[in-house]
Structure formats: C-alpha cells, structure tokens
Structure 1
Amino acid sequence: MARAEPDDPLSLNSPSGDRDSSSPEPGKRRVAVPRRGTADPVKALLHRHRDLCERAVDPLEIVAGLEAQGVTDRTAARFRHRDVFSLAEELYARVPRGGERGPRTAPPPAPRVRADWILLTLLPGALGAATVAGLRLTHGHPRVLVACTGVLAVALALRAALRRGPLAGPTGTGTHAWRASSTGTHAWRAGSTGTHAWRAANGTRAWTLWLLGYAVLGDGLLNAAVTGGPDALPTGTPNGSWPTATAPALALTLACAPAAWCAHLLAAGARRRLAGSRGLEDFTAAAKPLLFGAFALFVGAFTALLVVCGTVLRESPACPQTLALGALLLLARLLSVHHHRHAPAVVLGAAAATEAVAVALPLAARLPGCVVLATPVRTLVNAWGAAAVPALGCGIAALVLLVHAGRTLTQASAHAPTGAPE
C-alpha cells in the first residue's frame, strides 16, 4: 500500500490505519484530502500535528506552524473551516492542557517600548560622536590610541544594542522555532540545525564588519590602488593620502536608534494585524505596506542623519553608497530577527566579495603580465568614482533582500509568538 511522504503537512495517515485507499501515480506527490463521509475530518489532522498543538502556547503559534508546513486557507476549507486561523483555534481547543479549556481570547501582547533598549540604541551613536571628536582634536600617537579605543567601545555598544530590544536576534531556546528556506517554508525543531545557524550567524558578523570597515576606509583605498598607492597608512582624517570617511561612519552608528524604532513598529504592527486577521491572505495584504513603510521610514531618517553629519563635519556624506549599506544592514537584521538567517549571510557575503575583488584587481594588475585585470575597475572608477563600487554592490544586495523580505516577513509564521522573550 502506498504511503504518504513523511514531510507531507496534510497527511492524514495515523497508526490506526485510517488511510486513503487510492494510490498516487508514480512520480506524483500524494495530496491527502479528508475522506468523504468522515464525521470528524479534523481528528486525523490533529493526530498528525499533536506535538505542535500540545506545545503551542497560543493558537497563533499553531497558525505559524501550519503555514510553515504549507497549509493555506484553501486547505483549511477542505477541513470545513473558513481559514487557517479558525482551524488552529479548533486544534488548540481540542488538546487538553491540565484543565485549561478553549483558546485564549486575549491576543498576544505587542512588544513594549522599554527604557533599557532605547538607551542601548543611543549608546553607539554617542560613543561614535565622542570618537570622531577625539580624532579631530588629537594628532600622532594619541590619535591612534583614540581610534582604537573608540572602535572597541562602539563595537561593544553595538553588540549590546543587538542583544536587547527590537534588534535582538532569535535565542533559539523556544520549544519550536520556525524559519524559511530559499525554496519555501518548513518547520524545524530548535537545535536541529544549530550548526548551520551558527555558521550563518558567524558569516553575517564577518561580512558586516568588512562592509563597515570598507565604508570607513574602502573608497580611499580603492582610489589609492587605482593611482598606484597607497603610500602610507590612514591617518584618521579625510584629507590624507588614504582618506578616512568619518561622516558615514558616524551616521551609521547614529542610525542604530531609528533602526530599532522601525523594527519595533514593524513587530508591534504585525502582531496586532496577526491577532485581528481572519486569513493568511488578509494578514499578508496588511503586512506588506507595514514592512515597506517601516523600511521607507528608516531610509528617510538615515538620509537626514547623513546630511547632518556631513554638514557638521564638513565632509562629503557619501550618500548613495552609505544609504545602500544602511538599507542592506537593516534588512539583514530584520530577517535575522525573524529567524531567516541564511539569505542575509549569503547576500552580505556577495556584497563584501564584490568590494574585496574591486580592491584586489588593481593590486593584482601590478604583477607582470596582469595589467588587464585592472581595466574593469579603472573604467568604473574613472566614469563614476570609487563610490560606484559599494553603491552598486550594496544597492543590488539591498534590493535582493528587500524582495526576499517582502515574501517572508509578510507571512504569519514570521511574526507569531514562539516562546522567545521580547
């Protein structure tokens, strides 16, 4: 007798032997449909997903789990329910929980605004401003000491800001965690892909550090490499032989605060819409303008920060490439916060590789017989300037992540509570 595939989310097979008598054709996936005449079509589905239903803390968690396994509103109609939300409420109500009866009527609380994460998101900008001021007021060895101390302090402040509040990533300690793969969504038990998640997180950190370092030193290094340099180490000023872009660096540290607020608005708005939606399509339609609105709000705030920093420091704010980098980092963080780590790691790595290759080709062209290697980069720099490399690399990467976020962060499974702390 043909058996349904083990990962079929709609499989109604049970140990009692209640199976569909029809066998699927070779090479075709079996589609399980409630048998005609079955008095209780939800019973077999409950047996199939009993583990999810027993451990869920709210019907919305069952909604997320069912959606992650491919269950749609059309599928719920075959089980005599108008949508997945209604089906999840019945599944939640029919599982005993030590005397608790029926689903919780109150929606899950929206993430709260807390003073601790507000202060932590302001800290990187304050330390960045102090570091830039120290660099402007010192010379020689004291300037090197100020630069090293300031970079370390800002890095620690950013680490603290990314561990608390809306920008905090998933802890992985919940009973279930849900994430999306590049070809579709599927459920995974916490810890089952721990090694892969650890590698993705480390890759994301490494590429982010490279991109931030390039924003400060990259354009000056590329210009120097194309013209035969660099002849000296960076001095921490925008006027040296290897210029340092302090205005974009300061704007990026200050942008931590608006990024946290936009992430909070997205999470709170999505949670409210999730509690009030009566279908997955209804939630997606409401979540898309919320996502793109939060993204546009961050871009506007970041643009204002760039202009202010450039004016105060009397430097070029490097708007195109810095805006592209800020948008890329925000989208990567939003995806990571909502359990989508793989795509940010890959896209950030591609952007970092683009910048690394652009710097390496002019240097490699100095080898005998390799002059032709520098032709593409030199042509691009002569036509559009050194800023064209990070602007194109980060801009295309941000566009890819924006499209990916529009598909994944507008799903109920990305915002339903999974037991992780806010």
Structure 2
Amino acid sequence: MTDLPSAPARDGRAQGTPTPSGTGRTAVRRGPADPVKALMHRHRELCERAVDPLEIAAGLEAHGVTDRTAARFRHRDVFSLAEELYARVPRDTQHPLIPRELTAPSVGWALRALLPGTVCAVAVEGVRLTDGGARPVVGTLGAIAFTVTLTLVLRRGPLRAGPGTRPVAVLGAVWLMAYAAGGDGLLDEALRGGPDGAWPLDPATVTGLALAVAPALWCAHLFSARARRKLDSSRGLAEFTGRSRPLLLATVALYIGGLALCLTATQLAYGTRGFAGALALGVLLWLARLLAAHGFSAAATKVLTAAAGTELLALATVFAGRLPGCAPLARPVDALVRTWGPGALPALVCGAAALALLARAVAVLARASAHVDQ
C-alpha cells in the first residue's frame, strides 16, 4: 500500500525534510516555534497572578512591550496579545483570584495625615512665645518632632516612596524647605550688605506647607483609587490613558486648591509673604513624591536637585559679588529682587520645576503600568 504524501510546508518542502548544508551533512529543517508561548513562559508569574487581560497588558507595557512589539507576535496591539496570554495560562478554577480594591481611608488614617501640620503649628507657636536661649532649643525640638512625624506619616499610605528613591532627592527637598523658612530673608539681607545677625524667618510658609500634608495624602489616595477603578473598567490601554490624564489634572487642581487654603490661613495669621513661591514649592514637592510613589523617582530626583542647586547658586552669586571684580555676578539676582521682591526667586525656580514634573507626570502616570503592583 502506498503511503499518502504529507502536506507541503510554506517553502515548498515537507516539514522535517532533510536539506543539504554547507558542511556536507544534512540538516533537518524544523517548523517555526511558538513565540507567544515563549513570551508566556518569560512572564509566567505576571500572567498567573493577573485578574484580567488588562493587568497583563499593563505589566507587559512596564517591561517595554509596545504595539510594535506585539505586531511581531501577530497581534494588532499589546491588549490583544495580553488577551491570548490570559487565555492560555492555566488557572485554578476552584479558587479564583479576587480583584484587588482600594478602600476609602479610615478615620484614623485621615487623622494621622493631620499630625505633621499640627506638630509644626505647635512648634512655631512655641518659638514665638519664648525668647532668649530657650527659643533655639524649642525650635530645634520642634523641627525634630516635625521631621519624625512627617517621616512616619509618609512611610505608609499613597505617598510612600517606591524602591530606588535616592538620598539626594531627600536632601534637595530639605534644602527647598529650609529656603522657604528663611531663604527670602537671607537673600534680602545679603543684597543690603548683611546679614549682620539673625535674619527674619517665614513661619507662615513652613506652617502652611506642613498643614498641606493632609490634602496631599488625600489627593494622592483619591488619584490612586480612581485610576485603579478606571484600569479595571477600561477595555484597552489607549482608553485608560485617555481617561487617566484628565483625572490626574483634576487631582492636581484639587490639591492646588487645598494647598492655597492652607497657605492663605497661615499667612493671614502670621503675615502675607511669598505666597507664589510657597504655592509653587508645595506643588513641586507633591508631584515629586507622587512620581516616586509610582516608581518614577529618577525624574523627581533630577528636578528637585536642579531646583535646590539653582537656589543655592543664586545665594552664592550674591555673596560672591562682594569679591573684588565680581560685582556682575550678583546683578541678575539683584535685578530680579529689586523688580519683583525676594519671593520672586523661589516662585520662578520652583514654578519652572513644578511645570517640568507635571509634564513628566502627565506622560508616565497615564500609563496603566504605573498603577499595577509589580
């Protein structure tokens, strides 16, 4: 009985037919491997713990898989590829995975967010009510208590910094806060030939920024919770991106409103001074922390370092201008302060830095991968 011929392969040869090789030996031509299966094994943990195809798509996006990459797997986009991966990974049907939900903050969580502002307000009042040698002691203890409280509050919650946060970012934020407390007064005294002693501090800005920690945490939680819900209800990555960008901008506007209320209240209590600079600094610090919490600490570190370095350089040029032949170094800062006041420097520097971080946040926080636990 004659065997039936096998179906021809795409190149006109039967699969497994020996073909001549350049070394005189015959090589067996194998059929094409399954590239999707190879990708599935490479990201098996992601595929097994995903609760829906969109979570797989977000994870693939975080690993650099784009629509162009998906085309090499014969899929129109990343979401289509994720649907096949989700369907092909075996699952335990008796114990289905439960989608993760972000619950509303409890009363205790909301009250803890008020602690940094409360501690700072008490410390400022303690400094105002004391004099002589007791004042620096009270100020130092108050600064330590505020730092400890702020660290404990930020260690948990929606503004907890992700892995990769660098100490230089913390140093930059500390310098920006220190400049907000006394930088304007030091700059004004330096341009007048001083300082001859202690220069005036600005308790309104420091207290207002400390009180704004509460709306910063609440707004960050609101953004994370709403973004996660949109991720679960979106039918594709492009749809999620289109829905998350307006959400981010609305959350930024909401935080700016809360920050403005805190600064207005403290500046009415202690005297109005440097409102624009304090507002810009508050937005800058919040965006930097929000980016770090979602795994984009590199951008936050660079911008915070640049802003702190610019303010430090501005002060340095004023003092360097007193050296023989170096007077032109201080002229740009002197002209800025004479025209707009000492608060113009932090407003300009922190405002530009905040805009840069906002552009970065709009670009990266609209991605689905920024809201999926890695």
Q: Shorter-normalised TM-score: what interval?
A: 0.7 to 0.9
Does residue 218 (structure 1) correspond to residue 183 (structure 2)? The answer is yes
Does residue 401 (structure 1) correspond to residue 357 (structure 2)? The answer is yes
Which of these two proteins has the greater Rg computed from alpha carbons? 2
Does residue 141 (structure 1) correspond to residue 141 (structure 2)? The answer is no
Q: Hey, what's the Cα distance between the residues in 1 that align with 2:77 and 2:94? A: 22
Corresponding residue for 2:331?
375
**1:201–1:215 Cα change, 3 Å:** same
Q: Hey, what's the Cα distance between the residues in 2 that align with 1:255 and 1:383? A: 30
- Determine helix, strand or coil for the equivalent of 1:410: coil
**1:300–1:307 Cα change, 3 Å:** same
Corresponding residue for 1:108?
100
- Structure 1 residue 62: deviation in Å? 2.3
Q: Is the 8 A contact 1:216 1:249 kept in 2?
A: yes
Deviates more, 1:67-76 or 1:292-301: 67-76
Corresponding residue for 1:163?
155
Q: Is the 8 A contact 1:73 1:280 kept in 2?
A: no
Match of 1:244 among 176, 198, 201: 201
Corresponding residue for 1:342?
298
- Determine helix, strand or coil for the equivalent of 1:166: coil
Q: Is the 8 A contact 1:59 1:103 kept in 2?
A: no
Corresponding residue for 2:65?
71
1:12-61 CA-to-partner distances (Å, cap 9, x unmatched) read xxxxxxxxxxxxxxxxxxxxxxxxx9897633432453454356576554
- Structure 1 residue 165: deviation in Å? 1.2
Q: Hey, what's the Cα distance between the residues in 1 that align with 2:148 and 2:108? A: 16
Q: Hey, what's the Cα distance between the residues in 2 that align with 1:219 and 1:351? A: 15
The letter of the residue matching 2:250 is G
Identity of aligned residues (%): 53
- Determine helix, strand or coil for the equivalent of 1:107: coil
- Structure 1 residue 137: deviation in Å? 1.1
1:61-91 CA-to-partner distances (Å, cap 9, x unmatched) read 4222211234345765775667544532432
**1:58–1:169 Cα change, 3 Å:** farther
Q: Is the 8 A contact 1:167 1:337 kept in 2?
A: yes
**1:129–1:351 Cα change, 3 Å:** same
The letter of the residue matching 2:184 is D
Q: Is the 8 A contact 1:73 1:279 kept in 2?
A: no
Please list every run of 5 or more consecutive structure 1 residues that lacks an aligned counterpart in the other structure.
Answer: 1-36, 173-196, 234-241
Please list every run of 5 or more consecutive structure 2 residues that lacks an aligned counterpart in the other structure.
Answer: 1-30
- Determine helix, strand or coil for the equivalent of 1:232: coil
Aligned pairs for 1:53-72 (under 5 A) are 53-54=47-48, 59-72=53-66
1:137-192 CA-to-partner distances (Å, cap 9, x unmatched) read 1111111111111111011111011111111122x4xxxxxxxxxxxxxxxxxxxx
Corresponding residue for 1:386?
342
Q: Is the 8 A contact 1:303 1:323 kept in 2?
A: yes
**1:57–1:204 Cα change, 3 Å:** farther
- Determine helix, strand or coil for the equivalent of 1:165: coil
The letter of the residue matching 2:246 is P
Corresponding residue for 1:264?
221
Higher helix proportion, which one?
2
Corresponding residue for 2:115?
123
**1:152–1:107 Cα change, 3 Å:** same
Q: Is the 8 A contact 2:51 2:99 kept in 1?
A: no
Does residue 318 (structure 1) correspond to residue 283 (structure 2)? The answer is no
Q: Hey, what's the Cα distance between the residues in 1 that align with 2:103 and 2:300? A: 24
TM-score (norm: length of structure 1): 0.76
- Structure 1 residue 228: deviation in Å? 0.6
Match of 2:316 among 351, 357, 360: 360
- Determine helix, strand or coil for the equivalent of 1:133: helix
- Structure 1 residue 371: deviation in Å? 1.5
Corresponding residue for 1:201?
166
Q: Is the 8 A contact 1:266 1:294 kept in 2?
A: yes
| Root mean square deviation of aligned Cα | 2.4
